[in-house]
Amino acid sequence: MANIKIDKNFVESIAKNDNEKFFNNVNEKISLILSSAIDRLAKQVPYISLDNVTLQPFNEILSGAVTDNSTFHYLLGVENGQLELNTFKTNMFWRNFKKRLKYAWENRRKRKPKKKKKEDATVSNIDFDASKYNIFNLTDDLFESVRQFLSPTSIISQNDNILYIVGKEDFGGNSKIRIDICFSDGENFKLFTGNKKNLLKYNFTCRVNCLQQKRREAGPNFVKMLKIFNVFYFYTNHEQPNAMFLESVLYNIPDKLYEDRSIYNVFLKIVNYLTLKTINNFNSINDLGLKIYQDKMLGSDSQVGFLKMIRMIANSNK
């Protein structure tokens, strides 16, 4: 961040950066591609259809505070009880895998390796077993289906139940897209934790209502401040902030501090306010009954990175 000069012109340039056209283009294109891919996949996999999936913006694209460094992060919620049940059966298998592996290693015998048979690369039909098909199989198959609707220059990759897409030709600009395949029950999205053993339920209702309320009461400077802090956090910590954490902090800022025609003045007032406050006492935008440090969705390192950013900004203005 030493090469970034924090002055009025720089702060205003972030706030004025209008990427609405690009923002809408990516949203529309990813929605079209996924709709086509799901419709195609549904012919072979009855566990998924356009009727039982929901595409939900997850990070700063929900508030509209997208910057040049943002990833377009979505949840693709699938409402299917059998798929969820099959997935948990799979997880039970992996919970006991280490024990079985240890036993096999301790009781190993020297054996001659068998030659693997060549697999027929031309086989494209999905091997669907209703009793075993799980969310990781679905991600594999959706990967192949989505790939059919991307241009040859786009790059698509996969990790467990997550798809990643980078495609300048398809989406324009430096677009990075992440799609988490998860479960949905109509109201909640059920996300896998890092160890794949548990599900974390997430409901967007409170967050959406709070964002709408803050935009209405604090005005357009609220989203502008989200953009500004997004950029400063990235340059301070070399990664994007947890959008829900940042939204929680700025949601708790008094509305009157957003009241100024100059976004630079608003920026200074809010930075000064935050240097005097303990943000641990702020409420989570996901659940106003929880403090920031109590909400697992906000990320364990978010507060450390945020305070590092505030100190950097405060020191640069001395």
Tens of pLDDT, residue by residue over 238-296, are: 999 999 999 999 999 999 999 999 999 999 999 999 999 999 899 999 999 999 999 98
User: pLDDT at position 217, please?
Assistant: 96
- Do residues 161 and 290 both lie within one domain? no
Has residue 184 been placed in a domain? yes
Q: What's the structural domain count of the chain?
A: 2
**DSSP bridge partners of 76:** 55, 181
Torsion, Cα of 177, 140, 185, 96 (10° steps): -120
Residue 83's nearest CA partner among 157, 148, 141, 165 is: 141
Residue 163's nearest CA partner among 173, 155, 152 is: 155
Q: What percent of the chain lies above the pLDDT cut of 90? A: 63
Has residue 27 been placed in a domain? yes
Alpha helices (runs of H) in the chain, residue ranges in sequence order: 8-16, 20-41, 81-95, 97-106, 135-147, 168-171, 205-218, 221-237, 243-251, 263-276, 302-316
**DSSP bridge partners of 182:** 77
Q: Strands 162-166 and 53-57, how do they pair?
A: unpaired
| CATH code of the domain in which 28 resides | 3.30.460.90
295: phi then psi, degrees, rounded to nearest 5: -90, 115
Q: Which range marks the domain in which residue 276 is found? A: 205-316
User: pLDDT at position 169, please?
Assistant: 86
User: pLDDT at position 93, please?
Assistant: 43
- Do residues 156 and 67 both lie within one domain? yes
Has residue 10 been placed in a domain? no
- Do residues 60 and 187 both lie within one domain? yes
- Do residues 210 and 259 both lie within one domain? yes
- Do residues 231 and 305 both lie within one domain? yes
- Identify the domain boundary among 151, 183, 202: 202
pLDDT tens by residue, 49-76? 999 999 999 999 999 999 888 999 999 9
Calpha distance 142→38 (Å, rounded): 7
- Do residues 145 and 219 both lie within one domain? no
């994007």: which residue's tokens?
A: 240
- Average pLDDT (167-174) is 83
Contact 305, 229 (CB under 8 A): no
- Identify the domain boundary among 202, 227, 256: 202
- Do residues 195 and 270 both lie within one domain? no
Has residue 223 been placed in a domain? yes
- Do residues 197 and 209 both lie within one domain? no
Q: What percent of the chain lies above the pLDDT cut of 70? A: 85
- Do residues 290 and 194 both lie within one domain? no
Q: What is the mean pLDDT of the chain?
A: 85
- Do residues 192 and 259 both lie within one domain? no
- Identify the domain boundary among 147, 169, 202: 202
Contact 150, 164 (CB under 8 A): no
Has residue 277 been placed in a domain? yes
Calpha distance 87→255 (Å, rounded): 45
- Comparison of pLDDT for 113 and 61, the residue scoring more: 61
Has residue 169 been placed in a domain? yes
> Does pLDDT of 199 surpass 60?
yes
pLDDT band at 121 (very low <50, low <70, confident <90, very high): very low
Residue 138's nearest CA partner among 129, 242, 60, 94 is: 129
User: pLDDT at position 69, please?
Assistant: 87
> Does pLDDT of 109 surpass 70?
no
- What pTM was estimated for this model as a whole? 0.84
User: pLDDT at position 221, please?
Assistant: 97
- Do residues 155 and 74 both lie within one domain? yes
- Do residues 170 and 213 both lie within one domain? no
